[in-house]
Chain A
């Protein structure tokens, strides 16, 4: 089925470890986004990408790295996880900049 899938669904990691969250979409959308969702803050943009090999920082990019070597994939890496990065992470895509975003079902990350 076409759509946007995130993996893993749940992840527990230790402080200081590197962890990568995966995002794959089958719509060939140009734009992809990573948001984190925390109580009291709503959804905050981490990074986004307008096309393969083009990425830009969002509101809260510190501590995160992204890449976009292929249109369909947009992995998010926490280089050295911290407890403050415990959150639910959502990936989204859209076919143009003024189109609705379509979200995956999220990855719940816990950093111990």
Chain B
């Protein structure tokens, strides 16, 4: 079936390292992608989004890369901090009139 998934359920990094969280999607018709961060006891928080007509977008300390050839999405976090520890979800939208579909999440643990 079609789904948004993440390559690793957990990722552990040291403070100051760069983190890369990966996501694979299966529907080539998906045209909008979002990364969310979820801390314990809170709702998902928007980090960054990208549309299918782009292959890279940068925010503050974060970069999203989209490779449509292999249907791969990644989130790069520069100089990872303990406050970045959370569950990260990618989500895709498969075209107009459809809702966001979420992947299962990657838990990022940052040790100092």
B is a partner of A = yes
Closest to A99 in B: B49
A27 sits at the interface (CB 8 A): no
**Residue contact A45 to B44, C-beta cutoff 8 Å:** no
Please name all residues of chain A whose beta carbon is closer than 8 Å to the beta carbon of B46 when the two chains form the complex: 100-102
Please name all residues of chain A whose beta carbon is closer than 8 Å to the beta carbon of B93 when the two chains form the complex: 97-98
Q: Annotate B72-103 by CB proximity to A: 1 below 8 A, 0 otherwise.
A: 00000000000000000101010011011111
Given A33-B99, A48-B99, A98-B32, are A104 and B104 also a contact pair (CB < 8 Å)? Answer: no
A74 sits at the interface (CB 8 A): no
**Residue contact A103 to B97, C-beta cutoff 8 Å:** no
Given A41-B104, A42-B89, A98-B32, are A103 and B99 also a contact pair (CB < 8 Å)? Answer: no
**Residue contact A43 to B89, C-beta cutoff 8 Å:** yes
Q: Annotate B48-72 by CB proximity to A: 1 below 8 A, 0 otherwise.
A: 0101000000000000000000000
Please name all residues of chain B whose beta carbon is closer than 8 Å to the beta carbon of A103 when the two chains form the complex: 43-45
Please name all residues of chain A whose beta carbon is closer than 8 Å to the beta carbon of B51 when the two chains form the complex: 98
Q: How large is the interface on B (under 10, 10 to 19, 20 to 34, 35 or more residues)?
A: 20 to 34
Q: How large is the interface on A (under 10, 10 to 19, 20 to 34, 35 or more residues)?
A: 20 to 34
**Residue contact B97 to A97, C-beta cutoff 8 Å:** yes
Closest to B31 in A: A98
Please name all residues of chain A whose beta carbon is closer than 8 Å to the beta carbon of B91 when the two chains form the complex: 43
**Residue contact B49 to A105, C-beta cutoff 8 Å:** no
**Residue contact A101 to B100, C-beta cutoff 8 Å:** yes
**Residue contact B32 to A104, C-beta cutoff 8 Å:** no
A27 to chain B, nearest CB (A): 13
**Residue contact A43 to B99, C-beta cutoff 8 Å:** no
Please, could you name 7 A-B residue pairs with CB atoms under 8 Å apart, sorted by A? Answer: A42-B89, A43-B44, A101-B44, A101-B100, A105-B41, A105-B42, A106-B43
Interface residues of A (CB under 8 A from B): 33, 35, 40-45, 48, 58-59, 90, 92, 97-98, 100-106
Interface residues of B (CB under 8 A from A): 32, 34, 41-46, 49, 51, 89, 91, 93, 96-97, 99-105
